[in-house]
Amino acid sequence: MSNNRQQLADELRRRGITRRSFLKFCTSMASAMALSPAMATEMAEKLAAVKRQSVIWLSFQECTGCTESITRSHRPSLENLIFDFVSLDYHHTLQAASGDAAEQAREAAMHAHGGKYILIVDGSIPLKDDGVYSTIAGMTNLDMLQQVAKDAAALVAIGSCAAFGGLPAAAPNPTGAVSVSEIIHDKSIINIPGCPPIPVVMTGVLAHVLTFGIPELDGLGRPKVFFGDSIHDRCYRRPFYDRGEFAKSFDDEGARKGWCLYELGCKGPITHNACATIKWNNGTSFPIQSGHGCIGCSEPDFWDAGGFYKALSTGSNNPGQWAAGALAVGAAAGLASGWLNKSSKSHAEKNRQPVTIEDMGGKSDE
Ligand code: SF4
Ligand code: SF4
Ligand code: F3S
């Protein structure tokens, strides 16, 4: 565990990152979060003054994809630096320590930073058969989550497994998997779903928490700055959708011309995420740009939502028919959203307002 209380600005200087590059990074991060230019400058000043924030990361029923995503980069980036710069005091996959030493590091961090540390969770929590399906150091995931969450300043559920149950909770849910928000009820939880989530979204939310506090969340606990729009709202294939031009198979003329993938099962109209704007792999592409429809990976219960290649409704190449079809699509999207929301009634439902770590009962890490 590191006790380094150095400011981020000192570390930036040590690594030879110029103020200009840092400001550019903050401007693009602020723009991705739809913050004003003035707030970009404010974010740069606040972020530069941030001291190492203790983070405890618990991995439960997961596939390591979320951790892979956050560490995946073609080159060292400022996003990586910000994530590196938090004091990651416990992380099964990334820590060098193992066995008793690893658990001692977790307990030491909890003791040293009680009420101040951020708890990040990836993976779902199995409740069936007394939680025997996933244990760490002899503790069930349920016991460890409750123990560590108790003194956390903020909770972040990373990935659809932690946010909504994800793949482990898919029918018939053999382990009785549940999300973090189905266990912890006395603290606000920031959900960053996706299977896995976009790395820039994870670091962006972290930067927001470190500078302006908890971002405004939607009814499912997702930061509105990244999950406010649907994929469909920002999709570059949208003009084809609006004209009723749909690929009918993955190798037909329409697919070659880049037409809309709605009839091939795209769930973009009911999926909220930033893939169409921020994209993946340093802004290179996202599933739809690579020729595959969105499978809705940042929405609750997407594994059980009716088949990845099944259209939400039936479109038409006839513009006249499409007008009626579009209404049906809207209704279908509304119904599907309603179904998804209904199926998530146990998840965070209230529309939360921005709060700070202090509002949540935590203490600023002075
Ligand atoms: Fe893996 Fe997806 Fe779950 Fe992340 S959300 S742990 S990538 S299955
Ligand atoms: Fe893009 Fe899918 Fe919407 Fe078509 S249905 S415009 S491919 S998000
Ligand atoms: Fe997931 Fe759809 Fe983005 S499948 S990665 S939310 S385009």
Residue that is last in its domain, among 183, 204, 225: 225
Asked whether 192 lines ligand 3 (CB < 6 A), one says: no
Q: Which atom of ligand 3 is nearest to the CA of 302?
A: 4
> For the whole model, what pTM was predicted?
0.84
Are residues 181 and 247 both part of a single domain?
no
Do 320 and 305 share a structural domain?
yes
- Is the domain of 299 the same as that of 175? no
Q: Do 220 and 235 fall into the same domain?
A: no
pLDDT at residue 48, as a whole number = 85
Q: Is the CB of 333 under 6 A from ligand 2?
A: no
- Give kind and range of the element (H or E) at residue 156: strand 154-158
| The pLDDT of residue 128 | 98
- Cβ–ligand 3 contact at 160 (below 6 Å): no
Q: Check pocket membership of 261 for ligand 3, CB cut-off 6 A.
A: no
Residue 273 lies in a domain: yes
Q: What separation in Å is there between the alpha carbon of 294 and the centre of ligand 2?
A: 8
Residue 59: give its domain's CATH number. Answer: 3.40.50.700
Judgement on whether residues 166 and 188 belong to the same structural domain of the protein: yes
Question: 366 lies in a domain?
Answer: no
**Closest Cα to residue 212, out of 14, 36, 7?**
36
Check if 121 has its Cβ closer than 6 Å to any atom of ligand 1. no
Domain housing 190: 8-225
For residue 1, is it within any domain?
no
Residues 176 and 53 in one domain: yes
Torsion angle of the four alpha carbons 208, 4, 103, 161, in this order, in degrees rounded to the nearest 10:
20
> Is 300 near ligand 1, meaning CB less than 6 Å away?
no
Going by the DSSP 8-state scheme, the letter that residue 354 receives in this structure is P
Provide the residue-wise pLDDT of the chain in tens; the chain has 366 residues.
444 556 878 877 887 888 888 888 888 888 888 888 888 889 888 888 888 889 999 999 999 999 888 876 555 566 676 776 788 888 877 887 888 999 999 999 999 999 999 999 999 999 999 999 999 999 999 999 999 999 999 999 999 999 999 999 999 999 999 999 999 999 989 999 999 999 889 988 988 998 899 999 999 999 999 999 999 999 999 999 999 999 999 999 999 999 999 999 999 999 999 999 999 988 899 999 999 999 999 999 999 988 999 999 744 333 333 333 333 444 334 333 333 333 333 333 333 333 344 433 344 333
Q: How is residue 243 written in tokens? A: 């004209």
Residues 220 and 236 placed together within one structural domain of the fold: no
Other CB atoms within 10 A of residue 292 CB = 16
Q: How close is the Cα of 137 to the center of ligand 3, in Å?
A: 34
Site to substitute for ligand 1 among 64, 180, 195, 302, most atoms within 8 A of C-beta:
195
**Nearest CA among 8, 2, 3 for reference residue 49:** 8
CA distance 245 to 261: 9
The verdict on 192 and 124 lying in the same domain is yes
Going by CA atoms, what residue is nearest to atom 7 of ligand 3?
294
Within 216-314, where are the H helices? 224-227, 231-234, 238-243, 253-256, 275-278
CATH of the domain at 267: 4.10.480.10
CB atoms within 10 A of CB 179: 28
Residues 237 and 168 in one domain: no
| Count of structural domains, the chain | 2
Residue that terminates a domain, selected from 159, 194, 225: 225
